[in-house]
Amino acid sequence: MQVQEATGSEHWNRVKKRLRAELGDDVFSSWFARVDLEEHNDGTVRLSVPTRFLKQWIQSNYNERLMGLWKGECDNVHKIELTVRGAMRPRQPSAQVAAGLPAPKRPKSSMSDPRMDGFCDSNSVAAAQAVTAALGRGDNAGDVARDVLQGAALDPKYTFDTFVEGDSNRLALAAARQVAAGGAVTFNPLYLHASVGLGKTHLMQAVASKVRASGRKVLYLTAEHFMYRFVSALKAQSALAFKETLRTIDLLLIDDMQFLHGKQVQQEFCHTLNALIDGARQVIVAADRAPSELDTLDDRVRSRLSGGLVVGIQEPDFSLRRNILTTRVTQTRRSYPNFDVPEPVLDYVAKHVASSGRDLEGALNRLIAHNQLTNQPITQEMAELTLRDLIRSSEPRRIKIEDIQRVVSKHYNVTKADLLSARRTRTIVRPRQIAMFLAKVMTPRSLPEIGRRFGNRDHTTVLHAVRKIEELARGDQALATELELLKRMLDA
């Protein structure tokens, strides 16, 4: 038994090492640092975690990857069990396990307190008063309150004065200005959606800076920060303090909403959203697509987000792109008085770098660097050479992962829910792999993002699917023809 235990521990250490290498230190520390190996016996691996939330998160997002890594260590592993250990539960010595002695009784954890399930508990007022009082003390509730209220850092460059207005963003700018001006809460929540680099974060931080300057309490967080703060509060058994602190916010801003995952985290966000809106507090949310297209969100969260003002920001037209460049050149001259870009070059860049304001700034930064480092004037020829990888002669049709899922589902007579599910029957697995392959070759999305859009799968699962379809297509002419047909359907 002692040899088996040592072998199991060695296997687990190697699994953790590979997880850390694949996920990175930050993600690994957030989700796996407190996962312990309890038992490895008869093909079953039993792992323990400190909270129910962590158990649900790992089961939803990493169960398949854990199984794959354990099978790589031990061929006979066929099941991974996750259990929740008590917050104060002592680890049982291995000799005690081997001898068949019973484990110590688990103390009742405050994590199972029904008051943690929402805001509507009888002690909410008292808890809010306790949190407020704790801010002036050094206890745990005060630490939680200060940590929550700190929020993410704001970029001082992101203000209304530096935001360039155009037809594609005029409505979003007007709504953001009205929210920042205060007064009656009219648009709640305000939901901004756009592709990357079109100004969502700029507008949100401009609102946050202006409202904060007026003395009101502002909390700006990305969805991933919100998840991290909530999980940290669960670990510290201070979830109630976390919730009550959020209820004191005058303006809550959540960016990158598409990355909010996990049933319990989404329930907590929905409770927060309801409490703030019912209390006439303002909420602004931003994501890369409309609420109805956020398939990973709970239906109640999507419904609540859709109930406010939903505003999309479109790609900038030529006039807006030209104005953005002119504004940035003016700002650059404050640091480099002799910097100059001829009008024809600005027209050339505005015409050919058409995807986003962020790409325009990147293009201008290249011209600045070339000019300052080589002391050569900016000319049309220099711009063409420096920006050749950004220049596109024609704008291809932008294909979304939702389009791919819809076309593949219809072609193979399966549902979109099947593609996102954990089902592993051949009639589901092959269409899912084909959809992942098409998402990789026809969209600019990264492997982790594609995995999230296919039921929160790991990026290695997506990579396996892409390589599998590539390999099959090389030897199966019928499959290769089918893939070309699907591509033509998507390009149509």
Give DSSP secondary structure letters for 154-185.
PPTT-SSTTPPP-TTTHHHHHHHHHHHH-SS-
Please check whether residue 100 lies inside any domain of the structure.
no
> 227 with 262, same domain?
yes
Q: Using the predicted structure, report yes or no on whether residue 368 has a pLDDT greater than 90.
A: no
Phi, psi (deg, nearest 5) at residue 251: -140, 120
> Average pLDDT in the 397-406 region?
85
pLDDT at site 298 = 76
* 252 and 281 Cβ atoms separated by less than 8 Å: yes
pLDDT band at 89 (very low <50, low <70, confident <90, very high): very low
Q: Using the predicted structure, report yes or no on whether residue 3 has a pLDDT greater than 60.
A: no
Q: Which of 133-137, 182-186, 253-257, 267-271 has the highest mean pLDDT?
A: 253-257
> Average pLDDT in the 394-399 region?
60
Name the pairing type of β-strands 36-41 and 44-49: antiparallel
pLDDT at site 133 = 46
pLDDT band at 203 (very low <50, low <70, confident <90, very high): very high
pLDDT band at 150 (very low <50, low <70, confident <90, very high): low
Q: Using the predicted structure, report yes or no on whether residue 459 has a pLDDT greater than 70.
A: yes
pLDDT at site 7 = 65
Q: Using the predicted structure, report yes or no on whether residue 63 has a pLDDT greater than 80.
A: yes
Q: Residue 378's domain is classified under what CATH number?
A: 1.10.8.60
Please check whether residue 68 lies inside any domain of the structure.
yes
Q: Is 475 annotated as a binding residue?
A: no
Q: Using the predicted structure, report yes or no on whether residue 137 has a pLDDT greater than 50.
A: no
pLDDT at site 396 = 54
Q: Which residue, 369, 389, 409, sits at the end of a domain?
A: 389
* Distance, C-alpha 141 to centroid of its chain: 27
Q: Helix (H, G, I), strand (E, B), or coil: what is residue 284? A: strand
pLDDT at site 88 = 33
> Average pLDDT in the 307-328 region?
88
* 203 and 192 Cβ atoms separated by less than 8 Å: yes
Please check whether residue 156 lies inside any domain of the structure.
yes
- 195's tokens: 């592709």
> 185 with 157, same domain?
yes
> 76 with 198, same domain?
no
> Which residue has better confidence, 275 or 447?
447
Q: CB pairs under 8 A, 24+ apart, for 350-353?
A: 350/318, 350/321, 350/322, 350/325, 351/318, 352/387, 352/390, 352/391, 352/392, 352/393, 353/321, 353/387, 353/390, 353/391
Q: Which residue, 355, 389, 423, sits at the end of a domain?
A: 389
> 464 with 377, same domain?
no
> 289 with 324, same domain?
no
> 25 with 70, same domain?
yes
pLDDT at site 392 = 55
Please check whether residue 276 lies inside any domain of the structure.
yes
> Average pLDDT in the 267-274 region?
77
Question: What's the number of domains the chain is made of?
Answer: 4
pLDDT at site 463 = 93
Report the alpha-carbon distance of residue 287 to residue 61 in Å, rounded: 21
> Average pLDDT in the 299-322 region?
86
> 180 with 294, same domain?
yes
- 286's tokens: 């931003």
Q: Residue 17's domain is classified under what CATH number?
A: 3.30.300.180
> Which residue has better confidence, 137 or 347?
347
* Widest Cα–Cα separation across the chain: 83
Amino acid at 192: L
Amino acid at 311: V
* 467 and 451 Cβ atoms separated by less than 8 Å: no
> Average pLDDT in the 420-425 region?
88
Please check whether residue 287 lies inside any domain of the structure.
yes
> Average pLDDT in the 425-433 region?
91
pLDDT band at 41 (very low <50, low <70, confident <90, very high): confident
Q: Residue 442's domain is classified under what CATH number?
A: 1.10.1750.10
> Which residue has better confidence, 370 or 25?
370
Q: Which of 18-22, 206-210, 212-216 has the highest mean pLDDT?
A: 206-210
Report the alpha-carbon distance of residue 104 to residue 372 in Å, rounded: 69
> 330 with 385, same domain?
yes
Q: What one-character DSSP code corresponds to residue 39?
A: E
Q: Which residues contact 185 (CB under 8 A, 6 or more apart)?
A: 280, 281, 282
Q: Is 308 annotated as a binding residue?
A: no
- 341's tokens: 């870009």
> 147 with 258, same domain?
yes
What DSSP letter does each residue of 330-376 carry, written as one string? HHHTTT-TT----HHHHHHHHHH--S-HHHHHHHHHHHHHHHHHH-P
> 165 with 290, same domain?
yes
Tell me what the pLDDT averaged over the chain comes to: 77
pLDDT at site 450 = 92
> Average pLDDT in the 388-396 region?
60
pLDDT band at 151 (very low <50, low <70, confident <90, very high): low
> 258 with 334, same domain?
no
Please check whether residue 1 lies inside any domain of the structure.
no
pLDDT, tens digit (0-9, with 9 covering 90-100), for 430-440: 999 999 999 99
Q: Is 24 annotated as a binding residue?
A: no
Q: Which residue, 389, 423, 446, sits at the end of a domain?
A: 389
Full domain range(s) for residue 279: 121-312
- 58's tokens: 């790992």
Q: Which residues contact 366 (CB under 8 A, 6 or more apart)?
A: 386, 387
Please check whether residue 427 lies inside any domain of the structure.
yes
> 23 with 158, same domain?
no
Q: What one-character DSSP code corresponds to residue 52?
A: H
Q: Using the predicted structure, report yes or no on whether residue 96 has a pLDDT greater than 60.
A: no
Q: Residue 307's domain is classified under what CATH number?
A: 3.40.50.300
pTM here is 0.53
Q: Is 199 annotated as a binding residue?
A: yes
Cα-based distances in Å from 268 to 42, 194, 246, 484:
38, 25, 11, 44
Output the CA torsion sign for 53, 57, 60, 64. negative
Please check whether residue 175 lies inside any domain of the structure.
yes
> Average pLDDT in the 105-131 region?
36
Q: b vs e for 214-250, b when ≥16 Cβ sit within 10 Å of the residue's Cβ?
A: eeeebbbbbbbbbbebbbbbbbbbbbbbbbbbbbbbb
